[in-house]
Amino acid sequence: MLNPDDRIAMAISGGKDSVSLLRILFELETKFPRVQMTALTIDEGIKGYREEAIAIAAKNCEELGVEHRVFSFKELYGDTLDELVLKLRSLRGEISPCSFCGVLRRKALNQAAREISADKLVTAHNLDDEVQTGLLNLIHGDIARNARVEPILEPQHPKFVTRVKPFCRIPESELALYALLDHVTFQTHPCTYRETSLRNEIRHIVNRLEFNHPGVKYAISSSFERLRPALKTMVSSVKIQDCSSCGEPTVGHICKPCEMLQKIGVL
Ligand code: SF4
């Protein structure tokens, strides 16, 4: 996933997974003096939630002496997520706050990683996240997207930064235990919008399945892994081009974030 001379952009939200990953990467980095690491936090603008997370991310970076940069939805898109959610109401539930947030954050992270000339964008997605994403794509009828849910996502366009997910085979419960045993300072209360998301429903279903039938998460993840080569052939002819609105890479004429922002009249 990583080379001894990589410039690493590490996405840190302030939650247990990203703070633990930051600390582990920092420890590894000391053995590889040519590695450079910058931590990136995206401030979506979620009142009563994100301020605390940013402070925790900043504190952890400061303790380790890791450069920390914050990029906000407000400066990138002109509105905070809270402001965008108010505008989303006109769509009567067509787009959930979390879909909006996820799509805009992915774009913001890639732009931020590119801005610091990173070779790799490291995220702390765990096994649970990957299983939920795979199932979400299935439920949305967007199976081809699962071709891109993988531990190392090589860029298909020069404007994309290679994304790597070192924790993608580690269950969330084990990461929580690690963070507690390592006395990591992390944000414990969840985002206000989490309860409204389809991902959260899937989280509950998969957790119940795992409780009753241990091993289910690994089984689902390995099924998606085995399907991936076939899915990749399906999407191999898809051309990535520049979005006609913002110039960021996309499969269509216009990228998903711009399409969503247009829908609510922001663009
Ligand atoms: S729970 Fe939803 S709205 Fe909140 S940070 Fe996560 S994706 Fe964004």
Query: Mean of the per-residue pLDDT values for the chain?
Result: 95
185 pLDDT more than 80: yes
Q: Is the pTM of this model over 0.75?
A: yes
Quote the ligand 1 centre to 191 CA distance (angstroms): 6
93 pLDDT more than 70: no
Average pLDDT over residues 22-31: 95
Quote the ligand 1 centre to 201 CA distance (angstroms): 14
Which residue is closest in CA terms to ligand 1's atom 2?
Answer: 98
Strand stretches in the chain, DSSP E: 7-11, 36-43, 67-72, 120-122, 152-153, 162-164, 241-242, 249-250
Average pLDDT over residues 224-234: 95
Average pLDDT over residues 38-43: 98
Average pLDDT over residues 224-232: 96
SS3 per-residue string spanning 152-173: EECCCCCCCCEEECCCCCCCHH
Quote the ligand 1 centre to 229 CA distance (angstroms): 30
203 pLDDT more than 70: yes
The predicted-structure confidence for 233-256, as pLDDT tens digits, reads as follows 988 888 899 999 999 999 889 999
Mutate to test the pocket of ligand 1, among 43, 44, 72 (most ligand atoms within 8 A of CB): 44
The confidence score (pLDDT) of residue 258 equals 96
Q: Is 95 helix (H, G, I), strand (E, B) or coil?
A: coil
Average pLDDT over residues 23-46: 96
The confidence score (pLDDT) of residue 236 equals 84
**What is the rounded CA–CA span in Å between residue 108 and residue 41?**
10
Quote the ligand 1 centre to 194 CA distance (angstroms): 6
Nearest C-alpha neighbor of 247 from the set 233, 258, 235, 234: 258
Quote the ligand 1 centre to 175 CA distance (angstroms): 19
The confidence score (pLDDT) of residue 108 equals 98
126 pLDDT more than 80: yes
Nearest C-alpha neighbor of 137 from the set 161, 102, 110: 102
Query: In ligand 1, which atom is closest to the CA atom of 200?
Result: 1
27 pLDDT more than 90: yes
Quote the ligand 1 centre to 156 CA distance (angstroms): 27
Cα diameter, the chain: 53
Which residue is closest in CA terms to ligand 1's atom 4?
Answer: 191
Average pLDDT over residues 149-171: 96
Nearest C-alpha neighbor of 260 from the set 116, 96, 137: 96
Mutate to test the pocket of ligand 1, among 136, 197, 260 (most ligand atoms within 8 A of CB): 197
**Residues constituting the chain:** 267
